[in-house]
Structure 1
Amino acid sequence: MVAIVGKSNAGKTTFIEKLIKELKLRNIKVCTIKHDVHGFDIDKPGKDTWRHAKAGADTVVISSPAKMAMISNVSEELTLDQLAQIVSLDTDIIITEGYKKSNKPKIEICRSERSEGLLCAPDELIALVSDMSWNIGVPVFELDDAVGVADLLESKYQFKKQTEKLVNF
């Protein structure tokens, strides 16, 4: 698991999109987890899953031959480790957007027009993606260098291609 962090509008989502595409070219199975401190709702009023939830279901799953989604009410925000247990099926790497306070390895996105300083201490980072020059003891990549970051991740984590992963329920 690697957390992509940075200030608002630093380019985290744009960089993650590029990184996902590069990792997929390498046949690496990617899961992303987006941290949303504001709350969200992905269900549509009137649809069957919305009706199931309104009737009192605590968890609603919708499944088709091509994809699956789960909406579950929680009493408190789940930790990254709890989320990883849920989504680890058929995944080589979990990339999070946000979670800057987590204890996970981080790659910070730092653009000069958004910030002059870093959010993270150098010892929290495995890399920095920036349009500025830095000498903080971690690799620094240009804002569009998803290939370089994918090389770093592949080298660091040596993804094992597994033909079958089991989940215990």
Structure 2
Amino acid sequence: MPTIEMPVPVFAIVGRSGSGKTKFIESLIPELRSRGLRVAYVKHCHKGFSLNHREKDSGRVSEAGAEVVVLVSPERTATIERRGNTLSELVKELASKADIVVAEGFKAEPIQKIEVFRSELGGSLVCGSDPNLLAVISDEAVAIDLPTFGSEKAKEVVDFLEAAIMGKNELEAEVELEVDGSPVEMKGFVKSVISETVIAIVSTLRGVGEPIEIKLRIKKGKGGGKA
């Protein structure tokens, strides 16, 4: 089954129960965030779940039949809805909040996947015949013609993902920023937003065509400062 199109890059970490999927995701997310990416995480709970303890107020209200329960603190917000959802629907909702979605499970979904494999659990790769399988995470040799990374290689895996699903490679646009003569370091996501926005605008100008290099200089006018 071909990979379905999503509004933001999505990939799933799959594998047998106990293979270390969640542990690997825990190492993957900080590496993604270090590159300026906002990360959303979606876990497939095929046996169902409950975040509301019946002895708590929110749990009792949920049990009473509330369609939506929202828990809010100064730092976090949790929303629990009395409905299921498809991965595609969830990604559409998350697209404005995240630059990439990391899914755990969803092995039957037609999305790109990385499988975490441990031979001591028995059997072969869960998604070995899936054409959407991109790579394998294993600390031992695996008989498959795909890239294989050790469980401690989160950086290398993100490098691979940038080329495989985020469209980043050696031809990615170079972006440099100076403010008042001093260079400003930018994360990958910020560079991407600036380059894509400027290129898109400049390309609409008459006679420009497809630019190879763009130089943009902005100097605030005398009235540009704060009063």
Q: 1:86 to 1:131 in 2, by over 3 A?
A: same
Pick from 41, 64, 70 the counterpart of residue 73 of structure 2: 64
Question: What's 1:13 paired with?
Answer: 22
Q: TM (normalized to structure 1)?
A: 0.84
Give me the TM-score of the superposition, normalised by structure 2.
0.64
Q: CA deviation at 1:122?
A: 5.2
Residue range with higher mean Cα deviation, 12-21 or 23-32: 23-32
Q: Per-residue CA shift, 1:125-144, capped at 9, x if unaligned?
A: 11111122235332111121
The answer for the alignment partner of 2:157 in structure 1 is 149
62, 69, 73: which is aligned to 1:53?
62
Consecutive unaligned residues in structure 1, runs of 5 or more = 164-169
**Aligned equivalent of 1:98:** 105
Equivalent in the alignment of 2:148: 140
**What is the count of residue pairs matched by the alignment?**
161
Structure 1 runs of 4+ with >6 Å offset: none
Root-mean-square deviation (CA), in Å? 2.1
Alignment of 1:77-92 (within 5 A): 77-92=84-99
Task: Choose between structure 1 and 2: higher strand proportion.
Answer: 1
Question: What are the superposed Cα offsets for residues 70-104 of structure 1, whole Å, 9 maximum, x if unpaired?
Answer: 10001xx3211012123333201111111111111
2 CA distance for matches of 1:12 and 1:46? 31
1:123 is paired with a residue whose SS is: coil
For the 8 Å contact 1:122–1:136, the answer to whether it is kept is no
Q: State the structure with bigger RCO (CA 8 A, min sep 6), 1 or 2.
A: 1
Post-superposition Cα deviations, 1:7-29, rounded to whole Å, max 9, x if no partner, equal: 11011011000001211222211
Identity %: 38
